[in-house]
Copies of this chain bind each other. A is one copy, B any other.
Amino acid sequence: MAQRTQRTRKSRTDALSRERIVEAAVELLDADGEGGLTFRALTERLATGPGAIYWHVRNKDEMLGAATDAVVAAALDIEPAEPPASPQDEIRAVALGLFDAIDWHPWLATQLATQLSRSPWSSVTPRIIESIGQQVRALGVPKGSWFTASSALMHYILGAAGQNSANGRVLGAGVDRSEFLDSVSTAWEKLDPDDYPFTRAVADQLREHDDREQFLAGIALILTGITTAYPPA
């Protein structure tokens, strides 16, 4: 009697699944960066062997792809504002959603680049294009330019967010943000005046800039470009 809890098979809730694997992968990536995701660490955390994981997932690349897709999907799952905001505001919300996701999951920046360069237009791209595109349409951009306008926004967002994820990563090691920017800025000021006059001149703008504000200023520039090039009827 009693002690029936002992089971040869894993209990139902412990059962391995693609979903649980991807979840664990994201946790490892968040905790220890790209280097932290190994099959060794993963099998330990999931209390299985590598063979079990390979039953649910083709290989590590696919696993990374699924992790990226999951995080991006969550980031873009924004409830529409009530009352409805302007297209500009909605675009800002989408952009900030991705910006923050990369800020929270610094490995996402590199992964998106790898991801997009392996299977360019699949999985993650439609999600982003859709979120941005619906607002581009609402902005009154003529249909023939939908693809151009939304691609431009997407590229800027991915480029900028990728660069900015850096700060978060560097700061991880107990480095003060303003201290860090100050050191880079000082380095810029020491560049060769003949080769780098402009960089030297903006060194103090780098020192004082705010990531988020700067990111939104870029979005604003592109939105201005879009509404100027395609004036609403």
Contact = CB atoms under 8 A, between A and B. Distances in A.
A195 interface: yes
B196 A116 contact: no
Interface centre among A114, A119, A198 (most CB of B within 10 A): A198
Interface string A197-233: 1110110011001000010011011111110110000
A69 to B, nearest CB: 14
A46 interface: no
Contact of A146 (B119, B149, B201): B201
Nearest to A229: B224
Given A137-B198, A147-B209, A152 B156 contact: yes
A35 to B, nearest CB: 11
Contacts of A48: none
Interface centre among A121, A165, A205, A214 (most CB of B within 10 A): A121
A169 B225 contact: no
Contacts of A226: 221, 225
A224 B228 contact: yes
B218 A126 contact: no
Interface string A138-156: 0000011011111110111
A221 B120 contact: no
Interface string A35-79: 000000000000000000000000000000000000000000000
B159 A191 contact: no
29 contacts: A110-B110, A110-B114, A112-B113, A113-B162, A116-B163, A117-B162, A118-B166, A118-B169, A119-B170, A120-B184, A121-B206, A122-B187, A129-B199, A134-B197, A134-B198, A146-B198, A146-B202, A147-B205, A147-B206, A147-B214, A148-B214, A151-B160, A152-B217, A152-B221, A155-B159, A220-B225, A225-B225, A225-B226, A225-B228
